[in-house]
Chains A and B, each alone.
Chain A
């Protein structure tokens, strides 16, 4: 007899338990998490495992890998330790990835939320601005910004954030447009809740899952953009970054390819880990999308 309406189903396990259960169902996502953990460990242990400045001369120039255990992954043409560069580079890449993504997401969420929630002329104005940004190729805009602001690491990070906010803004706007018509928003309005609270407390939490997933994509893209800048010798020369190392390794690509290949592999694995992570988050946060 199912007529009794007053009993409640037994409690579900807490949210994070459910989340982990769904996440680990995707094996590739677990691999992504492991790779990500490795990168984080590298960044954290950079000063412990391989002490010393990665820009300092550590041995004979162009020592191949696995020859001298002082410099296990070899040295570049100036005698700098490649392994130490890779470890310290992980710090820079993660820093840029996280900060630039935060900048992009914050700008994107604010603009997208306002445009999507209010609609009308607010939407028109904000979307035209977004389109203006979108018409300029990302990398060209990034080069222009770096050329204006200079190539200090803080400015580079900010510039990467500024060129990548348009896609999340459009996404947030679409989410808000569909969510603002839902009855729970009407219910909140009917209770006398203010617009700001409705936007940030009622709608935003419901719009977050796709944004979180997309954030992993932005993070991967920011790391690539920083590497590309460094490759063009526009990166901050005071920090060892993977892009810098590839850029300098280019000169000896024929004689000592490992100088460019090793940091290249590091970039590939980091970006791969973010994209697998994003896929796993998508499965875990939007369980209804699958099946």
Chain B
């Protein structure tokens, strides 16, 4: 290469300096590899924390009182904060739960401040709480994220070891896990609350005239935990301690209660003291059939999941070495496995894509071109991964998803550049550098226009905020950076490589693998046809347009599954007994259900949490059930994803039929924002009874809608409540007041806590209550003796039944509110594969004729709502970006007509994508929508290149048919290469990937790109040719007129 005093443009430095070229390639590769090594790696993107929960206990209050005195007060205080988007509250008997959602623009940098503000407001509100209500507790670490690893601890010898022992081991284990660097939070589930129970025989107590309160006071009084002071002698300061603290059960047994004539009545005389746990338990955890305690850990976002999991496993192994003889440590779930599977699947696809690219280019352009283009794919991918780091993103399935969408676009730029240089090199008298300069000059503007247009097409996703933005924003980042990288890599590195290494001329019988397949017969035939078509545009164009429009029309019949399913080998099951059922019966039922599930083929592991939501294994699971003894939640793992798809519906039917006393919901994991149910109807209004009635009517409509498996109402009156029918006169005859009566019943049944035992680091409280045998049914409750001021030793037994009888009435389960308005949320769950939006539309249609009383309104929520939200957000910037795209095109080509042609190509290609989707029968949703965006990029790229070629040729611009045909032919090779590589590279995703996440996307991309070949090679030249001829005729006529007027 002679380097005379010719002035070369700066962008030829890569081809002139071999060192620069190799260094550039090495830098990109190293950057990419180091990014892959060091970037945090997760399964799913971490959604910024915008939720927080506020729990308030108000023991003894009814749901209405909790609503009026606690929930309402909290909502009023919080209403003034503009950072809060929505407050939902649930008020149950004794308990209030508020869910606060912050605005979409809040992110991890601002949320802690806002949480601080909320905490202050909560403290203010707590001052206005009534007597008996406890302080509100704010829980802000239940984000929409799954736990990364879950362990289950169980006793090795369950018959003789107590569950308290396992609980203490679990706490030790949790502390060990917290010490691993990179751990964000570790939580324990299913552990009992340890306590010492003093179970009183109420009749013995009545005989001596004492109450449980007296016993508790005696125990607390005998617990000298207060320091007694310090004696300051001349030399020493001596601390004084009164006696010994309560240290064992024996000591409690011997605490004296009464003294008569030197005889003592001791605790052991009227009660049994046992070491146990708070009964009934709040939660039970099961792994297979064993009682376990779950320890779940979550990783920070700045670490790699595979490395962190290794460290955790090492820590667990150490723990097992030390304590494994007493306690079993089993791993229940590790996210790392799924991440590895997902990432290796995707990298496998990328690799396959590479191979396909190289093969196709080999066929079309020869072996040298094939490895040059083949190199571009990894280079662009590495560049994209490297740039993720600058945006604070990690490697997860969304960022890789973006790269896959961009595959077609990446190689397109490289193929176009390579082909252009190849053709230019074949021109006689062209130097390598000259070919490079010519190609870059010719292609810079078109490629820039196409890249910029595609980037603008992905901008709405990039600019999304809120939960959706956090989740899919990384797709846009990957695509945009991949495109950007592909643009400059193609113009610099690839162009340089092509200019350096491609053959400058072909001998007559160069083998096919050097110059690509040449089939002159085919190309000639095509040329002829194209020529004919150019002369008869009105015959060809309408056909093409009709086919594309058909695609839109046919796609209207497709099902709409906006958020695709997650394609996982796990799914969840929920068991709901009627509200008011106790946890023991739920426990027994769950064990039976478990056995039935295990009888199915392919089920590998099932684990359960009874009493509240199971620790999440998937990012959009919602942990929204607390304090629910009638509820059990399980996660079933099967051997393959297909098995999961088969079993979900079967289990729903079979298990519901076998256990009719409970409401069973079996549901698959799906992508999308965390929502409690796919279909939801919210009824707003003031009166609870009316809301409940309307709710029942809506549930009837749900039951008549195809595809709905279960429906739930949030306001219902099904919980049975026992009322003691007595009057003030009756109780005052016995020396009590109504308040005394309730207080005594509460103390007897729930107990009172006083005093504690300290064992090393554990402090175990002591609770005094009546024994389980005496509080287990209504007959025992009726026989419960009460204490009153008129103690009569001859007749000490004042039974509850003497004051009145019992009646059982239905009462409110809970009151739900949204933004301070009472709402009855009717939630419906679907059979598998049923599209939520279609079902929601059916229900909305059925509700149109429903007459609502004045003051009440109905709103749809669930998937349909979220879809509207997502589309709305996407559409916010759409007009601006559309205008920017059109402007780019117009400026690049200096012609409005050409811009319109390209615009029409974009629209028609989407029609072809929809046609392919219709052919495949897959549903429309978010993935096909993304696919369309990618499809547009590839389709207009082809047309832009053809237009650029025609524009560069003045004869073609004047409408010369032959020239137009020739220019089109010159682009045909790389358009066909792009098409074949895109379709070929997506074949694994089309045919060999199970599930419904990848196939719709792949169908739209592959089908759309495949069919839009005719747009680039037929539609565009014909249309351009026609336009050029029209313009030419106008110019000629104007010229003639001018000449005539001379």
Is B one of A's binding partners? no
Binding site for B on A (CB under 8 A): none
